[in-house]
A and B are shown apart, each in its own frame.
Chain A
C-alpha cells in the first residue's frame, strides 16, 4: 500500500516536472537593494508548512544558489531591516530587489497586552478573576536575593513574613489569611507553568515547608520577567487543589529575535545584624545569679557557687571572671557578591537566552557561608510556522555552610563571665577554646548544653549541598489557523523533570564536648542524603474559533496532566571517632543512628477552561477541573472544582466617555469558584501493619492506624467581587477586591479520638467549616507628577482578612483547646466557634508587689499597702475572723504558692483571693487588622530614587524572646532590663525579683504580649543609568549604577529585635528570638552590550 502511494506520488511529480522546474534543479539569483548587492541575506526554500528545507546566504555580490528540493515549495528572502520577499519557484534564476521595511506605511498595532500565565492567553482588560501582576523590570537592579523579598508589601492580601534571617531560611506566606486548620497554608508557586515543588514529604528534614519556600531562592531574580499572584478561586481554578492557597506564577525571561545581547551585573552587599536585647555583662550577671539563688531560700549557702563568687583560690577562677559579650563575638558584617551574566538573542530559526549566576555570601553570623551557582538555558526552536520546540534547562547548585547550632541563641543565654579561651593564671588568653567542664557546680550544669559559640563556629561543621536540575521539553503545534483571522487549534505537549539531590554533613568534635568521654555527641559525625525525581507530563489543546462577527471572541482550553515521582533518603550517624582530622562517616566509630526512607507521589488532573467576550465589554469565564488524588480511597478519589466569573468593562460602553471623561477605565468583576484541598499525607485509606519491638525474641506486628474511608476533599468556595479602575488616562490605576471564602469539610490532622478505640486519634478527618472575609486595595500612580525632567510614581496596597470557624464538632473543638498547665511562660490559645483564630489568652500583669507585709500606711522598708493580700471587688483588703489579712496565692489547694514582695502582681479578675485559670482573660489577636505596603519612585533625568515600605497594623505578638531574657528563673543570661528588678522591701519597679526555679513571676500575661504593628522601609535605592549616546562610543548599550539599602529602619513599638514574626499553629505568633532579618547595603552595576 505504502509503495503504491509512493509510486502514484512519483508519477504525479513526473507529470508536473514536465511543465516546470523539478527537484534537483539548481536555483540561483541575485539580491539587490537600491544601493546595490545585499550581502548575507537569508535565502530559504519553504515547504507547505513553512518548514525550511534548503537554505543559502548571498555572497559579496548578492548572489546565491542552491538545489531545489520540491518545485511546489516557495522561495523566501529575508534580511534585517527589509521587507521579506516570498516567491513561487516558477523559474531557476531570480533577480530580487529588496525594499526597506521602514518605507512601510504606518500600521496600527491592535494586539493587546495578553495576560501571561499558564491558562488561556486573554487580554489583560478582559480578565475577570482576581490577579495582580508585577513586572520584574520594576525591581531591576534591586538587591533582592529572593523573589519573596521583592513581593513583600507589593501584592494586596499577600502577607509575607521572613522565617528568620539565617542564610537561606525562606519565608512564610499567607494569601488572604489562613483558611485551613492543619496542613500547609502556603500558596502554590508555578514557574513557567510548572509547579515548583520538590517533594520532601517523607524526608527527615526538620520542616518541609520552610525548605520548599527557601527553594524560591533557586529562581534567580534576574531570570524573572514577571510575577502574577492569583487570588480568587476563579483564577486558581485551573490549578485545582494545588492552588487552594492561591498561586504565584513566575514567568522567566526568554530570548528574542535580534542581535545577541550580553548583560553582566554585579552586586555587592554588606549585611549586619540589628541590635537585639542588650545583655548583662559578667559582673552584672553574677550579681543577678547570686540573688536568684539567695531569694528562694533566703540563705547565703545556696548562693555560694564558686563559679559566681570570684574567689581567686577557685581553680577555674580566671575562666569565670570575665566580661564576654557573646553577641559581639558571633556577629559580623556579612558580604555578598552576586554575579550574573546573560546572553540572549535569536534568529530565523531559534531564540535563546542563557543566564548564569554565581553568588557568594558570608553571613552576618560568623562562619556562615553560602555559594550558589544558577544557570538557566531557554531555547525556542521554530521548526516551521506550525511547530515550535522549546527547551528549558535550569540548574542550581547550592553549598550552604551553616553553623552547627544556633550561635545567636547560645550567645543570648551563655554565662557572660565565662572566657572564650583558656586563660593562664594571669588572665591571658591561650590558644585553646574554653569549654565548660563537666565538673562545674551542679546548679550550673544546664549551661553545659550551650557550647562555646566561637569554638562551635570554628571547630564544628554543618554543610548542606543541593543540586536541582529541571529540564523541560515542550512541543507546540498549530493544527489549524496561524493567526487571529482564522480558527485556531493549538496543541502543546510538555514533559518536565525535576531532579533534586541534597547532602547534609555535620561534625561535632570531642573538644566541644562538655559531658565527658561517654558523651554520644562527641566526635560525632552524621551525613544524610536524599534524592528525588519527579516527572510531569502535560498535554494542552487550545481552541479559538474565528467568528465572522468579530464582536464575539471565544477561546477554550483542555488540559491533562500526570505527575509521578519518587524519592529516597538515607542517613548515618557515628560517634566516638578518633580525634584529629577524621570527620567522615566512612571512619570507624560507634553507629548511633542509621536509616533510610523512601516515598512516592502521583497525581492526575484534567482542566477545561473557556473564555468568551462580546465587544470587549462583556466577558465570561468558565472553568472546571477534575483532580485525582492518591490520598483518598477509591470513592472519594476524584474531586470536581468549577469556577465561573464575569466582567463588565463599564468604561468601554459608548455612553461612558461622555459621562465620566476623567475615568479612563472602569470594570466590575464578580466571580465564584470552588477549589479543593487534600490532606498532607499519603496512604491514609489503608490500614497499615507495622513491626513492633517483638516479644520473647519473636517478631510482633500491630495495626497502626484506622483506615480513612470517609475522608474527602476539603472544599473552599469563594465569592469575589473585584473592581478595576483607571483615572486620568490610566495615570492612576488600581483595583479593589472583596471576597467571601467558605471552607467546608475542613481537614484536620490528628483529630482526637476516644482512646477506647485503641488509637489516640484519626490521622485526618473532615471536621467543620470556616469563613474568611476580607478586602484588598491596590493603587498605582504612573508619572503622577511630571515637571520637566522630574517625575514621580507611587504604589499602595493594603488588605484585611477576618476568619472564623463557623461550625465544628464539639469534641473536636475541645481537643484543640489546651488546659492551663499552671506553668510559667505558657499562654492559652482557644479556637472557638464564630470567633477569629489567633486569639491570645493570659493573665493581666499589674506590676510588682512592693512589700511582703501589708499595712494600710506605708512603713518605709517594712510594709505597705502594695502587698500580696486578698482584696474584694472594690479593692478593699479582706480580713479574716481574727482581723488578719489573707495572703494572695497561686492556685489555692493544689500549687498553693503564696506571693511575696517583689513577686509579679496578676489581676485577680474574679476576686476569689487566688490567681488561677479563672483569671485568664483575652489579651488580643495575632492576626493583623491591616497589612500592606506602599512605595514611591522619583525620577530626575537619568536618576531614579525608589522606596518601598511595608507595614502591618493591629497584631499582637507573644514576645517569648523577651520573656526568656527577663524571667530571672534560670542560669541563662538576661537583658539589662533586669537591672531594674525588685531587690529589697519597698522597691518600686515593674520588674519582679530574681527567683531561680521558683515562683510565678513570668506566667503568660500581657506583660509579654506586645503590639506588633510596624512600618518598615523595605528598601531604598538610588540608581543612575548612563546616557546611551555616550555609551555608543564605548560599544555598550546599557550601563547603570545603583546603591540601595534594605531594611533601613522599622518604626514600631515592639521591643523585640524584629516585629516580623512567622505564624505558629492556630495563628498564634510567638517571637522565639529567631535571628532577625539582617540589614544590608548594596552597590551594583549592570552592563549590556
Chain B
C-alpha cells in the first residue's frame, strides 16, 4: 500500500498533467524593457515612431559628421584647426587609408535598414489599424523612401559603387554579403523610386501661423521630408545623372511652390520686412527693411534655422537629446572659437580690404562664415546665432565692418541639407550644361550673388557682369562653381561639387587645380596622387572588406599592402 501511495506521490510530483505541454512555454521569456517584433507593428503610432527613428539616426554623430567630412573635408575649403583627430588629419593630408574611421559607412546603412523596415511593415499595419489610412501609409513610405535615397546618394557620391539593399534585415537566415551595385544603376534606381512616390509625399505638414502681421513658419515643413524635398533631391540626382531637362523641371516645381507660399503669406501680412523678390524668386534679405546692418540672411537661415528658404534641414534645436556634434566639435562651440577644422586661409584673408580672390569685399558670406583667430580663420557658420555688420564699397579693414555676433551657447545647431539657393544654383547648372540659355543661368546665379552683396536696389551695381561669363560654357561653369563655393561654404557640398564636375569632365584636372589651392607644402605630390580618377572616391573600410568578400576595393587604394604575418 505504501508503495502504491509513494509511486503515486512521486508521479504527482514529477508529472503534473500539463507539465510536458508547458515545457516550451516555460522556456519562452520575453525581454522586460524592450518591445519585441511579435508585439510591434500593430498601430499607426508604431510606424510614426520608427519613421522618427530614421531621422534620428541621421542626427547621430556617426552620420552627421560623415555628411560633413565626405562632402567637404577634402575640398579647398577646409584646413586643420585645433586638436585635430588623427583620422581627420590624415584625410586633410590626402593620406587616406581604408583603416580611416571615416571610411566606415555603417550608420548610413542603419538608416537605410530602418527605412526598409518601415517600407516592409507599414502596409501590414495599414491592414490591421483602421485609423491608419492608405494615404497616410503612402505618405510615410514616401518619407522614408526619400530618406533612404538621401543616404544612398551620400554613399554613391562618396564611394561610387555601394551595396544596394532594399529589404529590411530581420533574421539570420538572410544573406548579408552583398556585392556593390554600380553608381549609375543605384542612381537610376533612386530616381525611379522618387519619381514613383513624389506624388505621395506630404506638401506641407502644418500651415503657417500668423500673429498680427508676423508669420511663424512651421518647423515641421522644413525638418521633415515634404514633396518639395523630394523634388529638390530629384533635381540633384538628375544633375548627377546629366538629365538637364528633368533637373530644371524639378527645380521649377520647387521655385513655383515657394513663390506661391510667398504670395499667400504676403496676402495675409501685407508687407515683408525680411523677404523680397529677386528675379521673381523670394529670398531672405541681408538687410531687413529699415535696418542699417547686414547679417539678417545668416541669422535667419543658419542662426535660427527652419527659415523660409529652408527645404530640408535636420532639427536639433530644442527638446533634443542629440547634439549637433559636427558643428560643435569641428567648427567650434561656445567655449572654443576654433574647432578641429579651420577655413582655408585663402578664402577669408584680406576680404575686407578687397584683396581676396574668392569674395568681393561687399560679400556678406565671408564675414558670416569665417572668423579670424590669430593667423587662422575659424569656421563660424552655424556656430553663431546671429551676426550683424555693415558693408560698403569704401571699407578697407576689418574694423570698418563693426561686426558684432552672438555665439551659440548650446550645441544644437540645425543642419541644412537643402535650401532654396541649392534649387536656384542647380537649375542654373542644368541650364549651363544644356547650353541653350547662358543668360538665364547667369541671372539665377546673380540672384544669389546680389542677395549676398546686399544689392537690392539699383544704387549699387552688380558685382558680377554678364559679359564676363556668357561667352563660353567653361566661363559659366567656372562662375557657377565659384558661386556655389561662396554660397555653400562649410555646408558639406564642395567636394561633391568637385567630384560631380570631375565625373562630367571625365578627368580630375579642374578638381586638382581647385582642391589643391589650400596646400602649402607637398602640393605636387598631392596633385600626382589626385590624378587617379578613382581617388576622388573614398576607399571601402578595411573592416567592411574583411566581412564582405564580394566587395572589391577601389583600385586607387587597392595596392595597400596587406600585412602578411610570418611565423
The CA of A1082 and the CA of B60, in the complex, are separated in Å by: 59
* Interface hit among B77-85, B318-326, B339-347, B361-369: B318-326
- Closest CB in chain A relative to B334 CB, distance in Å: 14
CB-based contact B321/A541 at 8 Å: no
Is the C-beta of A108 less than 8 angstroms from some C-beta in chain B? no
Give the Cβ gap from B487 to chain A, nearest Cβ, in Å: 27
For B7, the chain A residues whose CB sits under 8 A away are: 479
Instruction: Report A-chain residues with C-beta under 8 Å of the C-beta of B547.
Output: 752-754, 811-812, 814-815
Please tell me which one of the listed residues B3, B112, B563 contacts residue A820 in the complex, with CB atoms under 8 A apart.
B563
A702 CB contacts on chain B under 8 angstroms: 50, 53, 56-57, 114
**B163 in contact with A756 (CB, 8 Å):** yes
Produce 1/0 per residue, B103-127, CB < 8 A to A.
0111001111110110000000000
In the assembled complex, B519 has its CB within 8 A of some CB on chain A: no
Do B567 and A922 have beta carbons less than 8 Å apart?
yes
Q: Which of A58-66, A158-166, A520-528, A705-713 contacts B (4 or more CB under 8 A)?
A: A705-713
* B37 on the A face (CB < 8 A): yes
Tell me whether B543 and A630 are in contact (CB under 8 A). Answer: no
Q: Given A699-B52, A753-B176, A815-B547 in contact, is the A477-B165 Cβ separation under 8 Å? A: no
Name the residue in B36, B52, B104 with the highest tally of chain A Cβ atoms < 10 Å from its Cβ.
B52
Contact stretch, chosen from B23-31, B373-381, B475-483: B23-31
In the complex, chain B residues 25-68 whose Cβ is within 8 Å of any chain A Cβ: 26-38, 40, 46, 48-50, 52-53, 55-57, 59
Judge if A689 is at the interface, Cβ distance under 8 Å. Answer: yes
Residue contact B162 to A841, C-beta cutoff 8 Å: no
Choose from B33, B35, B104 the contact partner of A755 (Cβ within 8 Å): B104
From the candidates B36, B105, B564, name the one contacting A918 in the complex (CB within 8 A). B564
Whether B506 is near chain A, meaning CB under 8 Å from some CB there, is no
The 0/1 profile, CB within 8 Å of B marked 1, for residues 678-701 of chain A is 000011001111101111111111
B566 in contact with A762 (CB, 8 Å): no
A600 at the A/B interface (Cβ < 8 Å)?
yes
B37 touches A703 (CB 8 A): yes
* Complex interface: chain B residues within 8 A of A604 (CB): 23, 26-27
B172 within 8 A of A: yes
Among A493, A637, A754, residue most surrounded by chain B Cβ atoms (within 10 Å): A754
Asked if A698 and B52 sit within 8 Å, CB to CB, the answer is yes
CB pair A491–B6 under 8 Å, yes or no, is yes
Tell me, yes or no, whether A828 is within 8 Å of chain B by CB: yes
Residue pair A690, B105 in contact (C-beta under 8 Å): no
Given that A689-B34, A701-B46 are known contacts, is A758 also in contact with B169, CB under 8 Å in the complex? Answer: yes
- B24 proximity list for chain A (CB < 8 A): 628, 634, 637
The reply to whether A756 and B99 contact each other, CB–CB distance below 8 Å, is no
Q: Are A701 and B169 in contact (CB under 8 A)?
A: no
- A693 CA to B320 CA in the complex, in Å? 7
- Which residue of B is nearest A560, CB measured? B14
B 301-340 to A, binary, CB cutoff 8 A, 1 in contact else 0: 0000000000000010011111000000000000000000
Per-residue interface assignment for chain A, residues 589 to 600, with 1 indicating a CB less than 8 Å from any chain B CB and 0 otherwise? 000000001111
Tell me if B170 is interfacial: C-beta within 8 Å of chain A.
Answer: yes
A695 touches B315 (CB 8 A): yes
Instruction: State whether A701 touches B52 (Cβ < 8 A).
Output: yes
Measured between alpha carbons, how far is A477 from B40 in the docked complex, in Å? Answer: 50
Minimum distance in angstroms from B60 CB to a CB of chain A: 8
CA of A704 to CA of B110 in the docked complex: distance in angstroms?
Answer: 10
Given contacts A539-B14, A600-B29, A754-B548, contact A700 B172 (CB under 8 A): no
Beta-carbon contact of B543 and A815 below 8 Å: yes
Q: Is B220 an interface residue (CB 8 A)?
A: yes
B399: interface (CB < 8 Å): no
A437 interfacial by beta-carbon distance below 8 Å? no
User: Residue among A477, A758, A762 with the most chain B CB within 10 A?
Assistant: A758
Residue B211 CB within 8 A of the other chain? no
Q: Are A700 and B49 in touch, CB under 8 angstroms?
A: yes
Q: Is A550 an interface residue (CB 8 A)?
A: no
Cα–Cα distance between A757 and B113 once the two chains are bound (Å)? 7
For A708, the chain B residues whose CB sits under 8 A away are 171-172
Q: Note all chain A residues with C-beta closer than 8 A to B163.
A: 754, 756
Please count how many residues in chain A sit with their CB below 8 Å of the partner chain's CB atoms: 83
Nearest residue (CB) in A for B550 is: A754
Shortest beta-carbon distance, A1080 to chain B, in Å?
A: 42
Judge whether A894 is part of the interface by a CB distance below 8 angstroms: yes
Q: B403 to chain A: which residues have CB within 8 Å?
A: none
Partner of B3, one of A480, A539, A637, A690: A480
Q: Cβ of A819 < 8 Å from any Cβ of B?
A: yes
Contacts of B14 in A (CB 8 A): 539, 541, 560
Nearest residue (CB) in A for B318 is: A697
Q: CB of B526 within 8 A of chain A?
A: no
Partner of B563, one of A539, A689, A711, A918: A918
Most buried by A among B23, B34, B547, B566: B547
A765 touches B (CB below 8 Å): yes
B223 near A: Cβ within 8 Å?
yes
Per-residue CB contact flags for chain B residues 81-105 toward chain A (1 = under 8 Å, else 0) read: 0000000001000010101000011
Docked complex Cα distance between A811 and B512 (Å): 37
Interface membership of A830, Cβ < 8 A: yes
Q: A759–B172 contact, CB under 8 A?
A: no
Q: Which residue of B lies closest to A606 (CB)?
A: B23
B34 & A694 in contact (Cβ 8 Å cutoff): no
Which single member of A693, A754, A765, A921 contacts B321 (CB below 8 Å)? A693
User: Would A686 and B37 be within 8 Å (CB), given that A754-B176, A755-B104 are in contact?
Assistant: yes
Q: Is B32 a contact of A695 with CB atoms below 8 Å?
A: no
Q: How far is the CA of A699 from the CA of B319 in the complex (A)?
A: 11
Q: Does A211 contact B (CB under 8 A)?
A: no
CB pair A598 B49 closer than 8 Å:
no
Expressed in whole angstroms, the Cα–Cα distance for A29 and B563 within the complex equals 97
* A436 CB–B CB distance under 8 Å: no
Please determine whether B38 and A686 come into contact, CB atoms closer than 8 angstroms: yes
In Å, the complex CA distance between A1057 and B24 comes to: 52
**Set of chain B residues within 8 Å of A830, measured between Cβ atoms:** 565
Rounded to whole Å, the gap between the CB of A764 and the closest CB of chain B is: 9
| Contact A707 B172, CB 8 Å, known A688-B35, A917-B563 | yes
**A757 lies within 8 A of B549 (CB):** no
Q: Is residue A909 contacting chain B, with contact meaning CB distance below 8 A?
A: yes
Once the chains bind, are B546 and A752 in contact (CB under 8 Å)?
yes
Within 8 A of B (CB), among A966-1002: none
Q: Which residues of A contact B28 (CB under 8 A)?
A: 630, 634
Q: Are A757 and B165 in contact, with the CB atoms below 8 A?
A: yes
Nearest CB in chain A to that of B545: its residue:
A814
Task: Report A-chain residues with C-beta under 8 Å of the C-beta of B111.
Answer: 758
Q: Shortest beta-carbon distance, B65 to chain A, in Å?
A: 16
Q: Does A735 contact B (CB under 8 A)?
A: no
The reply to whether the CB of B417 lies closer than 8 angstroms to some CB of chain A is no
Question: Which residues from A are CB-within-8-Å of B104?
Answer: 755
- Near A by CB (< 8 A), chain B positions 165-222 give 165, 168-174, 176-178, 219-220
Question: B23 and A628: CB pair below 8 A?
Answer: yes
State whether the Cβ of A760 lies closer than 8 Å to any Cβ in chain B: yes
A431 at the interface (CB under 8 A from B): no
B-contacting residues of A (Cβ < 8 Å)? 48-49, 386, 477, 479-480, 491, 493, 539, 541, 560, 562, 564, 597-604, 628-630, 634, 637, 682-683, 686-690, 692-704, 706-711, 752-760, 762, 765, 810-812, 814-815, 819-821, 828, 830, 835, 839, 841, 894, 909, 917-918, 920-922
Between-chain CB contacts (< 8 Å), 7 pairs:
A539-B13, A696-B224, A701-B49, A703-B50, A752-B546, A810-B549, A828-B565
Please report B residues at the A interface, Cβ cutoff 8 Å.
Answer: 2-3, 6-7, 9-10, 13-14, 23-24, 26-38, 40, 46, 48-50, 52-53, 55-57, 59, 90, 95, 97, 99, 104-106, 109-114, 116-117, 162-163, 165, 168-174, 176-178, 219-220, 223-224, 315, 318-322, 542-544, 546-549, 551, 561, 563-567
The 6 closest A-B CB pairs, nearest first, are A758-B113, A755-B106, A700-B52, A687-B37, A702-B53, A814-B546
Kindly list 9 other residue pairs between chains A and B, CB separation below 8 angstroms, not including A628-B27, A709-B171, A758-B116: A48-B2, A692-B57, A702-B56, A754-B178, A755-B544, A757-B174, A765-B172, A917-B561, A922-B566
